[in-house]
Every structure is written in C-alpha cells, then in structure tokens.
C-alpha cells in the first residue's frame, strides 16, 4: 500500500501533545473525531511488542468528551443508550452502546458519571454531540451539552501501575477497573480512570488544562525511564487480538448492538426509557442473521481500507472482514468479521482475496484464543 | 511542516474513485465525513493555476448526502436550518446553515429538494445524520433518514461547460446555477447540478451507482483531452481567494451564523419554525462582537494546523486566522479570520507570528479584491 501524506488543517485538530509526539517519533496518523490520532511510532510490530512488555504514554486526546449536565441530564444520557444506567454510581465508568430510533448503533462511548447531573461521554469516532443536541431540542430537555477542553493521556502496559504510582502515589494501585478518582501530582488534581484501549492494563488521565497536561507528559517520560517508557498509541494488532471493537471499522450505523455482541449491555426488561427500545425488542424476537466473530487467515500480511468478502467453496458469501492485521502471537492474519448465520460454527473454512491472491482462513470465536 | 502518512482503514472510507485518483497522481489526503478527500495532485499552486484556466475532475465523494424522506421530511429539514425553505422548489439547491438550539452552527450543507417529501443534504464535515436522527426521535416525526450510496464527481474550471456538453449534450449549458436535472449519458441517468466548491464554474454529478461513476470518470478524461483535463480537488488557495467557507476550519459549533456572515440565509421574520430561532433573535438584538473577515499578510508562506492569533501594536487580540494560504494572485498570504469588533475597519494593521518570526498584515473585506 502506498503512503500518502495527511494535510493538516484547523479542521483536523492537533492536540496539546502533538509537538511532543512528533518529537517522540510518531510515524503515521489517523483522524478520529476530527482530530489527529497517532497510528504508529517505530512500527506497528515494534510498538506491539513494547506495549505488551513495558509501559507507553498515549496521546488519545481524540477520544473527545461530550459533557451533558443539568436537571434532565440523566434522562438524556439514558435515552441514548440501551444499557440500563438507573443504578449507575458517581466515580464509575460505563461502556454503553448508543442506539438510534431504529436500534442501530451510533457510537460506543465510555460514560463517566461525574455527578447525578453531570456526565462525560468519552466517545468513539462519530459526532455524538449532535445526536444529543438533536434529541434534547426535540424533547425540550433542560440540559447543557458541550465538548469540554479535555485531552486524554493514556498510560498503558503491564508496568503502568508502577509508573503511575511514582507520580500519584501507591494508592493508585487500588483503583479498580472502570473507576475514576481525582488524584494529585505536584499540587494539581487530575481525573484518573483505570481504563484504556488495550488489554495490557493501564489508566486514562482526563486532562482539563493544556499546560498541566504537557507538564504531565514530560514527567511521565522523565519518571518512566526505569520502566523503559515509550510514546505509543492504540495498537491495531493488540486491539484486534484483545477483540476491542472500533466504531467505523468493525461496526457502524448500519449494525445493531446484537450483531456487535453487545448483549450484556442491552437491557430490554428494565423500566428505563431509551429511543431504540421497541425496535431492539423486535430485533431480539426475530433473531439476528449475522454477527461479529473472529477470523484467522493463513497469511502474513493484509491491507485493510474497506471490508473484504469471505467466500465458501461454492462462492457463497460467508461474511466480511472489517479489521485485520498480522499477529506475531498467532503467526497468522487475525481479524474481526461480520459473519452470516449459516457460518457461525467456529472453524468454518473460507477463502479470501488478498492483493489478488486467494488465501484460506477459519472462523473463530472472540476473544481469540 | 513535516509530512506524516495517513493510515487507511475501513473507518476512513475510500471512495469508488480512490484507485483512479491514485493512478492520476493524488499526492496528499485529508479526511472529510470519515472519508478520504484528495488535497493535492501536482502541487497546490500547480493545481490552482490549472483549475483557473482549464477543467478538472474531482473525487468529492466525501461530500456525503443525508437523505430525509417521508411525510414530515419538509418539517424536519426546516427545523434544522435558519433559512426559510417554505417557498423552495423541486430541482433547486439551497445553501443553508444548520443551527442547534443555541443558534450555533452545525454544518452548512447544500440542500437539494428532490421532491416535496424527499431531500438530500449535501453536507460539510460533521455528522448531520445524527442531528437529524436525534431531532426526529425527540419530536416523533414520520421520516426516513439515511446516508445513500451517492458519490459526487465534480467537474470544475472555466472549460467545464465544454467538457460536460460533450458528454451530456449542449442543453447542459442552459442549466442555471444551483439547479439540478437528471441528464443522460450512454443510456444512464445522472443527477447533475450546476454547483461546486470553486468559483471557476462547474458541475457536481451525484452518482448513485459505483460502476456508472467509474465509467463516467474514465469518459471525462477520455473526452476531456482537448480541454487539457486533469484530476483535481477542492483547492485551498482558490477556495480562500473565492471566500468559500469551510466548516471546521473557518467556523464551527462555537460560532453563530451572524458571525459567519450568513445574514442573507437567516430568516427570523418568516413564520417557519426552526430550533435555534429564539436564540438567533436574541443574538441579532444584542449584536455580535466578532465576525469573519479577510486578512492579507506580507509573507510568502504559512502552515495552518490551528488558528493563529493576530495582535495590534499594543498586543491586544485583534482576532484569529483560521485558514490561510499563499496566493500567487495577490502575492501575499491571504486568509479567513474571526475578527473582534474594535478591528472591523478594513485596512486595520496587525502582527502575526509565523514560524517564530513576526510579520505584518491588514484586515480586508470578503470577498478579496
């Protein structure tokens, strides 16, 4: 695949950390929520091996926040998601698929409950703010909706607890998964959550002050030397191996949450009101005809810039791979694919065209084992 | 400014023409509506000179359509825009700022009226589909909202009438600005509008069939040889010279339509109902404190990846440049800037830091003369 430079502009926003990640050797970008998101540093594979062994600092400012506050904020947040938030607690993070009136997916944010009347939706790559604004205007809800100046730094990797403890103190080791707290470093308070877009453990620091974030970035590298810290970013290989889904890649507004395996975040029996509820009940009754599964392909590389068709021996469509990368762990190309119902048995074999050659692969369950 | 490659993925969608523009020498990309949009071919200046003299074919599939149809479609479309569409006619295109409940800008699409109950919003770079879906769900409107598979080819430049007449017949010369018709070429019907994101005259062909579009692309080059046709794209220099505004660059959801000089598209006295109306009335009464104007700077280059501050002699903030490029015509850097009220007099002088050197410039009216 040829390389094409990205043209920067105000519309593809830089982050408070862009100068720093460029000094640290970022080697490619993607665009996410109208913002630059680093895609690689040394190389995808080198970054991958390092992430699984040490600790990395990520500029994930592109994970923008939609802040919803005010009297009707809990009602509006609940209207957008099929996950029952009626027992949600301040200080916790909730992974919550958002659905439209057809029961189709709009985004899959982490919803942070800051107070009973103040929420941050930490969003994937779609303009949730306009969905919220449209709904609020249509229902005449008393809410404030904005995109605050929050720019997340993620600290990810098996040594992330050690590095973070050096900055924020030993008590950070007790912070539970998908919980957040305000913690102090050099007389400043930082919103720190145990979360992140890898399964190598780690934290996300929701930075509300640009200069404080830049300082923090530099301290993380200064104090992280002994842990072999490097600049990194969400890693395509690691996130597929970990079956972390990506809105726009693995699923989008043409898919419903059952098809994306979000069953445990779909609460149709509770009393809460959300806009796609009746549609999702119908979809559940009828049953789905396709769903996301894993694939393993006997090859050592793949370029993905659109979904690729999987065929059976008689050239019937098995499904479509939507993300894929070569995995040094499985020594195969692994991917996430939307698979048609007749082929849901794991180990079903298929053919795929990669760069005009035919390769074979097998369907598997997620997560990969 | 260093070059960084863009990493393609399904999330940054390719278009039906991507293979063709890469064969024609695209040299950089931007991302627009989650899709690849070419940003240059030979060079920004070479493309600019060619566009002003000959004819170019542009892959602007990234100008996505939001289709709104059904019984309440006219009502929903009107709810989203401050432009009075009550006398709108089928076959016409309407440039229409969209505003939220605070009277802030959401997008500035061209609204194509296909029928009284079927509309295409040809959008700039934000997810209007979710604004529409939120509003429709909130108001319980009877509408269908979707993103159809429409991939626009633009034919732009002073020789565009000559080229298009060779394909679609001489009658195309009579098609008026911001009107569209279905026209035939090789037994197929194409939706052709006289419009486009340049002021060099031209057309946009809303292609509804990928293969037909690819054929058309090839025919445009085959039949365009005598007009020195080239592959091109919206050109930063030309669009700034022509004062064509860009959502995300020149204005965004923090700006209102008065600040963006959209006064003639704001109809507050008509009876139509749109959601930001009361807010815009208040803004109008109070008057605005800043607005978009032009700037000319005595220098020959500028890199823009965030807005740049303009200062007066006493270091007070004059405003912020949001887009800028060197213009070979004006032999200066020209730009579009949000200027504070005390500095609205054209010819006001300011200082600007470009690559750590101070240059001087002057404010001017738009369009540039």
- B226-242 pLDDT, tens digit each: 999 999 999 999 999 99
Summarize pLDDT for A59-72 with one digit per residue, the tens. Answer: 999 999 999 999 99
- Our CA-based measurement puts residue B165 at a distance from the nearest CA of chain A, in whole angstroms, of 34
Spatial CA neighbour of A120 closest among A208, A17, A199 = A208
Cα atoms found within 13 Å of the Cα of residue B306, Cβ hemisphere only: 11
- Our CA-based measurement puts residue A74 at a distance from the nearest CA of chain B, in whole angstroms, of 16
* Chain B CA closest to residue A23: B2
Q: Which of B2, B133, B247 sits opposite A134 (nearest CB)?
A: B133
B-chain residues near A135 (CB < 8 A) = 134-135, 137-138
* Chain A CA closest to residue B137: A101
Bridge partners, residue B112, by sequence: B93, B120
- Our CA-based measurement puts residue A220 at a distance from the nearest CA of chain B, in whole angstroms, of 25
Mutation target vs B (from A9, A22, A27, A255; most B CBs, 10 A cutoff): A9
Least confident of A214-218, A304-308, B200-204, B262-266: A304-308
B-chain residues near A303 (CB < 8 A) = 8
Please enumerate in sequence order all residues whose Cβ is within 8 A of that of A116, keeping only pairs 6 or more positions apart, or say none: A74, A90
**Res A221 pLDDT > 90:** yes
Inter-chain contact A7–B28, Cβ cutoff 8 Å? yes
Inter-chain contact B10–A304, Cβ cutoff 8 Å? yes
**B34 close contact with A: CB closer than 8 A:** yes
Mean pLDDT for chain A? 97
- Our CA-based measurement puts residue B12 at a distance from the nearest CA of chain A, in whole angstroms, of 8
Q: Which of A9, A127, A305 sits opposite B130 (nearest CB)?
A: A127
Q: What is the CATH number of domain B65-136+256-288?
A: 3.30.70.1400
Summarize pLDDT for A82-130 with one digit per residue, the tens. Answer: 999 999 999 999 999 999 999 999 999 999 999 999 999 999 999 999 9
Bridge partners, residue A153, by sequence: A59, A205
* Chain B CA closest to residue A307: B10
pLDDT band at A200 (very low <50, low <70, confident <90, very high): very high
Ranges of each domain in chain B = 18-63+150-240, 65-136+256-288, 289-369
Q: What is the CATH number of domain B18-63+150-240?
A: 3.30.1360.120
> What does the alpha-carbon distance between residue A87 and residue A94 come to, in Å, rounded to a whole number?
11
**A132 close contact with B: CB closer than 8 A:** yes
Q: What is the pLDDT of residue A369?
A: 86
pLDDT band at B1 (very low <50, low <70, confident <90, very high): low
Q: Which of A3, A138, A307 sits opposite B137 (nearest CB)?
A: A138
> What does the alpha-carbon distance between residue B271 and residue B339 come to, in Å, rounded to a whole number?
32
β A332-340/A349-354 pair status: unpaired
Summarize pLDDT for B316-346 with one digit per residue, the tens. Answer: 999 999 999 999 999 999 999 999 999 999 8
Spatial CA neighbour of B8 closest among A1, A7, A301 = A1
**B24 close contact with A: CB closer than 8 A:** no
Inter-chain contact B133–A101, Cβ cutoff 8 Å? yes
Mutation target vs A (from B2, B3, B8, B10; most A CBs, 10 A cutoff): B10
Interface list for A 264-323 with B (CB within 8 A)? 275, 303-307, 322-323
Interface list for B 206-245 with A (CB within 8 A)? none
Summarize pLDDT for A227-265 with one digit per residue, the tens. Answer: 999 999 999 999 999 999 999 999 999 999 999 999 999
Q: What is the pLDDT of residue A346?
A: 85
- 8 Å CB contact between B232 and B52: no
* Chains A & B: contacts with CB separation below 8 Å: 181
Angle at A21 between CA A16 and CA A23, to 5 degrees: 115
> What does the alpha-carbon distance between residue A258 and residue A251 come to, in Å, rounded to a whole number?
11
> What does the alpha-carbon distance between residue B225 and residue B227 come to, in Å, rounded to a whole number?
5
* Chain A CA closest to residue B247: A11
Domain B289-369 has CATH 3.30.2290.10: no
> What does the alpha-carbon distance between residue A289 and residue A296 come to, in Å, rounded to a whole number?
21
Mean pLDDT for chain B? 97
- 8 Å CB contact between B168 and B85: no
- 8 Å CB contact between B167 and B173: no
Hey, which bits of A103-220 come out as E strands?
105-107, 110-115, 118-122, 144-146, 151-156, 180-185, 188-193, 202-207
* Chain A CA closest to residue B277: A137
Spatial CA neighbour of B206 closest among B176, B225, B181, B223 = B181
> With a cut of 0.95, is the ipTM above it?
yes
Inter-chain contact B27–A10, Cβ cutoff 8 Å? no
């Amino acid at each position: 695949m040829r390389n094409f430079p990205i043209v920067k502009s105000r519309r593809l926003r830089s982050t408070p950390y862009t100068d720093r990640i460029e000094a640290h050797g970022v080697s490619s970008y993607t665009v996410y929520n109208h913002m630059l998101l680093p895609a690689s540093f040394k190389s995808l594979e080198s970054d991958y091996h390092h992430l699984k062994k040490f600790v990395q600092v990520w500029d994930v400012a592109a994970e923008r926040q939609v802040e919803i506050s005010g009297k009707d904020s809990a009602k509006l947040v609940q209207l957008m998601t099929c996950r029952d938030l009626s027992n949600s607690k301040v200080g916790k993070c909730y992974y919550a698929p958002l659905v439209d009136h057809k029961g189709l997916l709009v985004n899959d944010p982490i919803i942070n409950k800051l107070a009973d009347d103040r929420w941050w939706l930490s969003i994937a790559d779609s303009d949730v703010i306009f969905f919220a604004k449209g709904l609020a205007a249509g229902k005449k809800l008393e809410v404030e909706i904005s995109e605050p100046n929050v720019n997340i730094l993620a600290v990810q990797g098996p040594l992330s607890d050690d590095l973070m403890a050096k900055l924020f103190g030993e008590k950070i080791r007790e912070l539970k998964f998908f919980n957040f707290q305000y913690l102090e470093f050099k007389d400043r308070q930082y919103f720190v959550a145990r979360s992140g877009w890898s399964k190598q453990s780690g934290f996300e620091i929701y930075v509300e002050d640009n200069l404080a974030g830049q300082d923090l970035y530099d301290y993380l590298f200064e104090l992280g030397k002994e842990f072999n810290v490097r600049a990194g970013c969400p890693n395509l290989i690691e996130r597929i191996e970990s079956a972390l889904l990506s809105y726009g890649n693995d699923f989008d507004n043409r898919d419903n949450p059952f098809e994306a395996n979000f069953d445990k975040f779909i609460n149709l029996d509770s009393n809460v009101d959300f806009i796609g509820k009746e549609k999702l009940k119908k979809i559940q009754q009828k049953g789905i005809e396709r769903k996301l599964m894993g694939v393993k392909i006997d090859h050592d590389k793949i370029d993905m810039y659109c979904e690729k068709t999987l065929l059976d021996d008689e050239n019937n469509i098995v499904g479509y791979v939507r993300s894929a990368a070569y995995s040094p762990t499985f020594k195969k190309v692994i991917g996430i694919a939307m698979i048609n119902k007749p082929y849901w048995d794991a180990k079903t074999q298929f053919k795929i065209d990669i760069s005009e050659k035919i390769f074979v692969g097998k369907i598997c369950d997620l997560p990969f084992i």
